[in-house]
Amino acid sequence: MESAEILARSAYPGDQVILKLSAPGIAARAQPGAFVHVRCEPTLLMRRPMSIMRAARGAGTLEILFKAHGLGTTALAKHQVGDRLSLLGPIGRPFKLTGFRPRPLLLGGGVGIPPMVYLAEHLRRISGVTPLVLMGSEVPFPFSPRPSQIMVPGIPASVIGTMPLMEDWGIACRLASQQGYAGAFEGLVTELAQHWLDHSNVPRDQIEIFACGPTPMLKAVQRVAAQYQLPAEISLEEFMACAVGGCAGCTVRIETATGPAMKRVCVDGPVFEASRVVFD
């Protein structure tokens, strides 16, 4: 548990907020896919789980992105630079950290974008790995998209919008939305992924999928991975009470080698093999 000072706050359309926090203890242990449990307001006893978007061990900082839509996140969005937040973390089983195929395909939907940013930052340090990051959102993206200078064979020529941070890292990134945003693919992020899989010349045995987003999106990712016979890891989103495995309020059904079992998203996940998740 750590008392974290808010170092920077950025607000975006769609009630989205990015907070940069000083949390050296958590930053030193964080891994892509992990999350923190945040006390949004002293009067609210229940914490809220927040995916870590970036963690800088040297600087001792974290960044989280969230959308204010309920009592807790609305209270959290009101905090300003200099305020302090109680964090518990890092929590959870992260995405794998080694043994990547040459062409990881990262899919982030809405508030599922932050873990993909964190994983992309990890992948850029690994030689021989060239990720493609696809992001989807039905509210304005929490950044100012710009035209990409990185060519992506298999992506429609008109789809050129990218996240500036990815472009600065030299990572190919494309955007998808059904809202008609300039430079974005008109459709779901999973549909853009299928278009790339169908039209790129990348061998299937070089591709694996990593994804985070709302449940309908993750169901679609599961179907895509099965259709193209690709390994996939997905990070599940669930409501949580304790977030440390005590209450078992965030359980999901997972197929294991010994049969189906109820697993806790907070500590057994949030990352699971897509093929093993049973969506009710």
- Residue with the two structure tokens 């990815």: 166
Q: Note whether 225 and 109 are same-domain residues.
A: yes
Q: Are residues 218 and 134 in the same domain?
A: yes
Q: What is the mean pLDDT of the chain?
A: 95
* pLDDT for the residue 163: 97
Q: What is the pLDDT of residue 131?
A: 97
| Burial of residue 41 (number of CB atoms within 10 Å: 0-12, 13-18, 19+) | middle
What total of structural domains would you count in the chain?
Answer: 3
Query: Which pLDDT belongs to residue 244?
Result: 86
Q: Are 162 and 148 in contact (CB under 8 A)?
A: yes
CATH code: domain of residue 42:
2.40.30.10
Whether residue 127 is found in the same domain as residue 167: yes
Last residue of one domain, picked from the residues 60, 91, 122: 91
pLDDT digits (tens, 9 = 90+) for 202-211: 999 999 999 9
- 3-state secondary structure labels for all residues of 181-212: CCCCEECCHHHHHHHHHHHCCCCHHHEEEEEE
Is-contact 137 126, C-beta < 8 A? no
What are the structure tokens assigned to 166, written together? 């990815």
pLDDT value for 165 = 96
Which of these, 34, 63, 61, 27, lies nearest to 49 by C-alpha position?
34
Q: According to the model, what pLDDT value does residue 61 have? A: 98
Give me the pLDDT at residue 1, please. 95
What average pLDDT does this structure show over 54-83?
Answer: 95
Residues 254 and 215 in one domain: no
Characterize the bridge pairing of strands 207-212 and 103-109: parallel
Q: How many CB atoms lie within 10 A of CB 7?
A: 16
For residues 17 and 74, is the Cβ–Cβ distance under 8 A? no
Give residue-wise pLDDT tens across range 186-203.
Answer: 999 999 999 999 999 999
Same domain, 225 and 242: no
CA distance 139 to 14: 6
One domain, residues 83 and 115? no
Residue 60: alpha-carbon gap to chain centroid: 21
189-199 helix and 215-227 helix, angle to the nearest 10 degrees: 20
Is 129 within 8 Å of 153 (Cβ atoms)? no
Task: Render pLDDT for 150-188 as a digit per residue (tens, 0 to 9).
Answer: 999 999 999 999 999 999 999 999 999 999 999 999 999
Residue 97 placed within a domain: no
